[in-house]
Each structure stands twice: as structure tokens, then as C-alpha cells.
Structure 1
Amino acid sequence: MTESQKRIGLIGLSAKGSWASMSHLSYLKSSPLYKITALQNNSKASADAAAKEYSLNEVATYDNPSAIASDPNVDIVAVSVKVPQHYDLIRPALEAGKDVFCEWPLARNLAEAEELVQLAKEKGVRTLVGLQARQSPAIIKAKEIVASGTLGRILGTTMYGHGIIFGPKVTEGFLYGLPIEAGANLVTIPFGHAVDALCYVLGEIKDISATLANLRPELELVDKDGNPNGKVKKAAHDHVSMTGLLENGGGIVSVTYAPSQSRTNRNFHWEINGTEGSLVLEGGKMGGHVQMYQPTIKLAAQKDLEEIQVEDGSAFSYNVGKAWDALAGIGLDKGHGVVTFEDALLRHKMIEAVYRSARQGTRENYV
């Protein structure tokens, strides 16, 4: 431990494997900027098991958020668990005056997100949210190309993706995402990450018109081995289509996300068209989650469509690591900015505008 290292209290690291173990762990263990000093899970035994599994020696282990928040050897509380638990885990950390990282979505709904942002302001702490598609080399390159004027004036953009979740089957591990009030669904997660990347590159969207549908209100429940285990009801939407205008110039925006995976391997396709050129970003089998899977990027300007080579950011720890670097002030000059709770709040407002438009049949704004 060095004086410059920030001490991390990590919530949600499982010995059985989790997003935290696939993305945050390898970066935090190898970075000279951070050190994991505490773990918290639903039980102390679970936290102890994770510490043993990942050779995190001498870390404190806890079974509740207030305990890890009050640990004097923790500077930053990192929350990497299911969305419905975010609010209850973040609030004690903010009340204790700790800096906080949380995965996206920040909370189950706009009201919870607003409360957390206000509390963070009152406490004067630093925040970081896991909208890490902004850290993807392909997304950063797209932003640079648009900003350079290579495409000319932006006329419009279309994005289409498959969100993997909400196909005809669901496992017990994702039952929590079926109620719409849980805030963990196709609209908030894959669509939410993707439209955040779109707005990062092109700017915010106005005059939103949206259509939502729950076309599979009943799913087949399967166990971890894929064996059928009855039927379950789903209230969350499995299709979303949104149109609007770019706030900064009037270009038309069209985004559609569908469930499951594409039978034609068209899991992510994003085209940006300007008066002088076009960009195409594409993802393969799992590409609809742009925060996890790096798309290819191709440019058509004065010549044929050509792929642009960027740094390999395909490892799950890449985008997450760049986000942590940015919090420490590294990589800011290369486009790796800090994505704060306030940034997350803006995206929550956008998603609420999508829900409102679909419900009322109106054009909605959120900025």
C-alpha cells in the first residue's frame, strides 16, 4: 500500500464469479492507483470466500453496507451488484462521506437517482458510474471523427441492436429483471448503454418519440443446465424504438433495440451520416452490449468504406480500467473522461422521457 493509492471497499465480488470478478478485479489488483481493502456481500461467509478465492489477503469482510461504509481504511465504495440493490448500498456510503462508484443503471428509477445525486452533492464526494462504453476505443474514435468535421454536417444516425436478454427463455438468475419496477431490463441496460454512447459521440436528443412493447409477456424458466422449470410472467418491455432530433443541429436519430440475439448476426449496427462522409460501427455475436463488446469502426469519406484500426479494448477489464484511470486523472487527454452520477442522472431522465412518450403518445424532452 502506498500513500497515493486509493483504498477500495468492493461490494459484490463473488467467489462463484460475477461482473466484478470479470471486469474490476484484474484491474484493481494490478493497478498502482488502487488497492482493495474491504469486501462486502450478503453474508460475511460469502465475502470471506471471495477474499480466499481471489487471494485478497488482509482485506476486511462485511455483511452490510453500513459496516463497509464506516471502515476508516476505505476511501471509495464500489457497488457492483444487481440494480434493485444499488440505492440501499450507495446511500450509506454517501452518508459516510465516501467517494462512490456504481454500475449503470445508477438506480431503479429517476426518483432514486435524483436523491443519490443530491446527497452526493451535499456530501461533496466524488462519484463514478459504469457507463463505460464511453471508454471504448471505437466510441472515442467515432467522437473524434465527428468532432473533426470529417463527416461534415451530421444529417442523421441509425442504431439497431439486440440486447441478449428477454429471449423466449430466462434463467433463475435473472428473474429479478422481469418486473419493470426493478429497473434492470432491455431499455435500461443494453439500450441505455448504447444511447449513452450515441449521445457521447453526437450530443443529446430532443423531441423524443418512443414505442415500447412486451411481446413475450410469458417466458420459459430454465435451470442453470437449461432444463425447463415452468413458465414465468414478465412485465418489462422487450422491444424499444425511439426517434428524435439531435439537439445541437437537427440531424434525425433512430434507435431500435430487440431482445435475444440476431439470427443474421446483426447484433449491433450504428451508422452516422453527414454531408461529407459516413461512419459505421458494428458488433458481432454479443455486440448489442457496446459497454462490454468493442465494435469495429469503418469510415466512408471521399473513398470506399475502410476499417479504422484502434486499440484493442475487447477485454472486459479494459473499459472499466480506463474509467478507474480517469477518476485518478489519467487518460483525460485521450478522451477517457470521468462519468459521474450527474451524467447518469441525465441518462435516467432520458429513459424516463422514453417511457413517458411511449405511455402518452407524446414527444418528450429531458434536457
Structure 2
Amino acid sequence: MFYGKNLQLVRMLHGLSRKELGERLDVTEQSIWQFEKQMTEPSLENVFQLKSILQVKSAFFFEQPTITQTFPENNVAYRKADVVSRKKTNSEVVYLNVVAEIISYLEGFLNVPSTTLIALRKKVIALLPSELTNVTIDKVATLAREFLNIQPDNSNLLLALEKSGIHILEKNVGGKADAYSAWSTKDVPIIVLGIKKSAVRRNFDLAHELGHLLLHAHVDFSTLEKRERAQIEKEADYFASCFLLPVQTVKREFEGIKKISNPDSYIPLKLKYHVSIQALEMRAYKLGFLTAKQHSYFYRQISLNNYKMEEPLDREIVLKRPGKIRSIFRLILSNHVTDLQSIEEHFQIERSLLEEMFSIESDFFIPYEKQNNFTDFNNILRPNFNA
């Protein structure tokens, strides 16, 4: 039996509309709708074409749907997205649910440490008043920085967040959003980063999304009006600024800048703290080191120097990529707990789709292509898998 829900799920996972998929399949949009609603079944030729286009195995379409909906639409917090279309949101929610299912399956082979971010979130909730203020946000940022043991130069930010239990992924988010985050109904936190960002802008995205996870864990984002969404984004921005640039650390730095409204004056601090020139100046402005006139002049210089899209040192500071998912794959496959083919067969998907979902290089899985020996375990693996 052909299951139309599976077709709809993998279509949305790829971010394709019915019209777009129909064009690739050389059928009408109405035909795709009928396939998904199980009003008609695609021909065998169509199934083989769908398999190729959507990077799944033929059996994928003929098995009962199994993906658990652990990430509801209203939990997703987008970065810099004033209005996110329902279609776009639904596509990303499907992505979250699919990757969460795969990660849960892989972690089932391991003794996974508890998510310490939950303990941090509980501490934050105890601090939060009924209405957030900048003073409270600053306190939360300070608490979070100490709890996560962030180094003074922010160089361990990505690693610290992954160690706290956050699954950090990267993909072409598209639209207006730079990144987004969410808590699942099982208290699993995920941050999805956009690609083509500099290392320092990625740091701000990470801190911003951490702000959402801690400050807005129980917000229903689907019901927010434009003004409310803007306020929540403002709060997450302020959290990121306080988190990356603690006042007690940067106050003396700002006091030492002679030309406070000159963007180039912030280059040494950018290198020292791995934070963008614009974020540094905004922090200085909010702390009262610049007047409104100087702040305006600064941004005129940003435009004149073409720094808005690319700043000095953007290419020199190394971009760090999420590593936890790769490590999980490597640990499981190198210890022969399971093999690549078994993972593909379990989800009835092709390796290319795994690579795409987790932004894994095409040569990563090559060493594990022909493994089928289930031996050689170490103490991080679950005891019941020992031979």
C-alpha cells in the first residue's frame, strides 16, 4: 500500500511545494495532491522517479508512517524573521522531527549524558519575573555564561553548547531567518544554524538562540503578533550581547578606545572576543559609551566601508562547525555497533539524504561502506549491546 503521508513528509523535508515536485516528476500539482491524499497511486515509474528525486528507498513509500511529532510548529523560534510563512515553518518542523528521530535512534546505542541545559533552564525560570527587563536578562546571561563555563574569548561557545545537550545542526535555512531553535515535547533542545555566515556572526546566532531556549522556552510563537515577535527578538539580541560581552569584561576595553565611532577601532576586540564589529559597537552604545550622533556616524562608516556584509577578519577567523552528530556516527560505525546499510534500511532513506540533513561531507561515510562486523565496543556504549 502506498502511504501518501510519507510522500508529503519527505517532500516537505526537501522544502518542495506540490507544484515544484510535480514539475520535477512531470505531473500536475493536482496529481501530487492526489498521491498524498491516497486518492490515486503513482505508477511504478513515478515511484522510481520519486525515490531518486527525494533520496529515499522505494520501500519508504510503502511502510506505515513512523516519525513522531516531537517538535510542534508553535515551539520554533526563528532568528530575524518578522513574518515566517506557514509553509516555510511547516517544512522546518518536518526537518526537526525527522532529524530528532534519527538522532534518538543513534543515541539509543550509547550511554548519553543528561542534558545539563535543562538544569540551567530551571535556574533561569526561578530568576524570571512576570515581565522581562534588561537587568533580568543581564543576570540570566551572566548565570548562563558561568554555568556553561564559556571561555573569556568565547572560543569554546559551540562546543560548550553541544556538551550541554543541545543538538546543533546547520543547513540552508532560507527565507528571512538566519537560524532557529526549539525545545521538543521530550525536552530535547535543537539549534539550526544557517550557512554562509562568518564565525563571529555564527557566535551571535548561537547566543541569540540560547537566549530563546532559556528565556522563551514556553512561548507559543505561532500566536505572537508582529510587535510581540519583535520584542522577543529584541530580548534574545540583548541576551546575546550580554552573554558574549559581559559588562565587567568589556567596560575597560571600551574606555580604552580613542575613536569610539570608528568601526576600525573595534578590530582588535573582534579578534579578542570573536564578536562582530557591529555587535561590539552596539554593546558599547547600549552601555553609554557612544552618543546617538556617534552611533549614527558609526553606521554611516559601516556602509561607506562595505562592512555591512563582510567585515575585516571575517575570512581570517576560522568558522567552527557542529561536531557532535559526526562524532556519534563515527563512534557507532567505527565500533561496529551497527553499519551504514542498517541505518539506511531502518529509515528507508539514502545516504545522500543523511549527508544533506546533517551537512556531512560526501566522503565522511566512505570508510564505513562495507562494514558488517558488530564487535569492538568501549564503555560509552550501552552494556546490552556487548557480545
TM-score range, shorter chain: under 0.3
Q: Which has the higher strand share?
A: 1
After TM superposition, the score normalised by the length of structure 2 is 0.24
Structure of greater Rg? 2
